[in-house]
Amino acid sequence: MFETGIVANETPETGTVVVAVGAKRDGTWPFGDAARHLDGRTDGLLRRALDLGTPQKHGGTVQLLLPQGTDFERIVLLVLGKEGGKDGDLTARDVAEAGASLASRLAAIGVKRATVAPLDGLDLGGITATDAVALLAEGAHLRAYRFDRYRSGGDEAKEEAKGLERLDFAAPDGARAGLDAVGRLAEAVNMTKDLVSEPANVLYPETFAERTRALEELGVEVEVLPKAKLEELKMGALLAVNQGSVREPYVVVMRWQGGGDEAPLALIGKGVCFDTGGISIKPAAGMQDMKWDMAGAGAVVGAMRAVAGRKARANVVGVIGLVENMPSGTATRPGDVITTMAGKTVEVINTDAEGRLVLADVLWYAQDRFRPKAIIDLATLTGAVIVALGHERAGLFSTDDDLAKSLDAAGESTGEPLWRLPLGPAYDKHIKSQIADMKNTGQGREAGSTAGAVFLQRYVGDTPWAHLDIAGVAWSGSDRPLSGKGATGFGVRLLDRFVRDTCEG
């Protein structure tokens, strides 16, 4: 487990020390107090290493070869700033990404523990040294995450797998509060990453529901609705998706009451713990990735932990639908007609368009029971959104411009960007059925993500609503600025920022 901490606000004399320097300007490297001190102690070694080494951009690192007579294990230089840049060019996101880059580099060279020297005297473009400590720690937390609980190698392999274990910051005690805050947020993100990374034989609807009970320790009220209750509620769409599986389906309701009597914000998550496609079965290649088809539900759980962890002054309810989509003699067939909790009928054209069926009932249930002031759902809903946006942004659909703008701003500030895609009556014809109120697919390859969104729109009533299609960003096959390969935890920090910015007085 990766940790951060605060130590005395002075340049360390031993161990692995990270020293931040400014980006090169006008042929020179701006130094803060710590860099000037160590450069003097080592007879100009820091400047020589920067001048003679490979040119470094923002977030780049240089490991120094230390002369005899020093007590350091290593000195690692970290560049903060953009070459030739001006004050204000460095954003909070830039600093967080530098912290992530630093954590990755330290792990790569085998460092287990390191200390970041004081940032005093360094030009950070308007960002205070105290804020920079929190931002560097946030990035390091996000990038240091590892999911290796199933490795069974020898002691040496297990030790290697641990990676960077602790990063301390030499800073005033006033920086401790910010460090604690980003630590709690990182725990929430890591909870989501753990859920998304688990194999489906370990994390299935029942065990997923059990894990949400951990939120009760933070004051979240957790209510687990079993199959019998879902049948009583007539959640016909959700039950139809799960009926091919031997596992029982569940809906979990998580409530954080920090905002008095005001109407809550509702967060809704798709939790398909494994998606074979059902009778419309997926190709074998890549099907193992469908363990993370519950990433929307995972993000909602993480967001609930985040808002509860900092005792947000807001009312937030999270509702997730947990199922498996499996082929069997009892599975829903293409051509079947099902009835949702809202009383609307759906012709099932493709059983692999199952996420919208799960969300239809959960959305209706949430808006009917809680009368929320706004609804945001997250789902790995369509492959079409990857065709449209790649793996760089999630798709955003919304019936409310102000809600969409606030979500977009939260996404940009947290490095979890969105891109708004269209809704509107012209797309309703895409899901028109000849024998039912609607069908669960659109018109072939045309506007596939929008077809899924207009389907969901029919289950939110007049409540301001946004749908985030996170299929392209929930999992990454390569390193990203703030996360490594695997589960990204996308949505947790975005939703936490949204709540902070729009729901707390």
Q: What pLDDT does 186 receive?
A: 96
Model's pTM, two decimal places? 0.95
Q: Quickly list DSSP for 181-200.
A: HHHHHHHHHHHHHHHHHS-T
Q: Facing residues of 339 across strands?
A: 345
Q: For the chain, how big is the Rg over CA atoms in Å? A: 25
Q: Where does the pLDDT of residue 65 fall: very low under 50, low under 70, confident under 90, or very high at 90 and above?
A: confident
Which CA distances in Å does 175 have to 92, 376, 424? 16, 33, 48
| 224-265 confidence digits (pLDDT tens) | 999 999 999 999 999 999 999 999 999 999 999 999 999 999
Between CA 382 and CA 283, with CA 195 as vertex, the angle to 5 degrees is: 40
Give the strands of the sheet with 221-225, arranged side by side: 221-225, 250-257, 315-325, 265-275, 374-379, 465-469, 394-398, 418-420
In the block, which residue shows the tokens 């509107």? 424
How many Cβ atoms are within 10 Å of 159's Cβ, its own excluded?
11
Which residues have C-beta within 8 Å of that of residue 81, sequence separation ≥ 6? 22, 23, 30, 58, 89, 90, 123, 124, 125
Q: Which residues are catalytic?
A: 282, 356
DSSP annotation of 480: B
| 172-183 confidence digits (pLDDT tens) | 999 999 999 999
| 107-116 confidence digits (pLDDT tens) | 999 999 999 9
Which CA distances in Å does 180 have to 12, 68, 103, 184? 22, 38, 18, 6
d(Cα 125, Cα 352) in Å, to the nearest integer?
A: 49
Cβ atoms of residues 310 and 230 within 8 Å = no
β pairing state of 166-170 and 3-7: parallel
pLDDT for 67 beyond 50: yes
Q: What pLDDT does 285 receive?
A: 96
Tokens encoding 462:
């007049």
d(Cα 136, Cα 423) in Å, to the nearest integer?
A: 39
Tokens encoding 430:
């895409």
Q: Where does the pLDDT of residue 56 fall: very low under 50, low under 70, confident under 90, or very high at 90 and above?
A: confident
Q: Where does the pLDDT of residue 125 fall: very low under 50, low under 70, confident under 90, or very high at 90 and above?
A: confident
β pairing state of 475-476 and 486-487: antiparallel
d(Cα 181, Cα 479) in Å, to the nearest integer?
A: 25
- Domains within the chain, CATH numbers bracketed: 3-172 (3.40.220.10), 186-502 (3.40.630.10)
Q: Quickly list DSSP for 134-177.
A: HHHHHHHHHHH----TT----HHHHHHHH---EEEEE--GGGHH
Q: Where does the pLDDT of residue 162 fall: very low under 50, low under 70, confident under 90, or very high at 90 and above?
A: low
Task: Give the chain's length.
Answer: 505
Cβ atoms of residues 18 and 114 within 8 Å = yes
Which contiguous run of DSSP H or E holds residue 297? helix 295-309
Q: Where does the pLDDT of residue 34 fall: very low under 50, low under 70, confident under 90, or very high at 90 and above?
A: very high
Bin 448: left if φ > 0, else alpha if -120 < ψ < 50, else beta. Answer: alpha
Q: Where does the pLDDT of residue 161 fall: very low under 50, low under 70, confident under 90, or very high at 90 and above?
A: low
Q: Where does the pLDDT of residue 152 fall: very low under 50, low under 70, confident under 90, or very high at 90 and above?
A: confident
Which residues have C-beta within 8 Å of that of residue 221, sequence separation ≥ 6? 254, 255, 256, 257
Tokens encoding 303:
């967001």
pLDDT for 200 beyond 70: yes
> Each residue of 77-102: b (16+ CB within 10 Å) or e?
bbbbbbeebeeeebebbbbbbbbbbb
d(Cα 137, Cα 61) in Å, to the nearest integer?
A: 16
Tokens encoding 326:
């499996």
SS3 93: helix
Task: Tell me which range, 42-51, 57-66, 494-503, is most confidently predicted by mean pLDDT.
Answer: 494-503
d(Cα 469, Cα 356) in Å, to the nearest integer?
A: 11
Q: Where does the pLDDT of residue 452 fall: very low under 50, low under 70, confident under 90, or very high at 90 and above?
A: very high
Q: What pLDDT does 277 receive?
A: 98
Q: Where does the pLDDT of residue 482 fall: very low under 50, low under 70, confident under 90, or very high at 90 and above?
A: very high
What beta strand segments (E) does 201-334 contain? Answer: 221-225, 250-257, 265-275, 315-325
Mean pLDDT of the chain: 94
d(Cα 274, Cα 271) in Å, to the nearest integer?
A: 9
pLDDT for 158 beyond 70: no
Across 457-478, average pLDDT: 97
In the block, which residue shows the tokens 């008095």? 260
Choose the weakest-confidence range: 45-49, 131-135, 322-326, 404-408: 45-49
Which residues have C-beta within 8 Å of that of residue 425, sequence separation ≥ 6? none
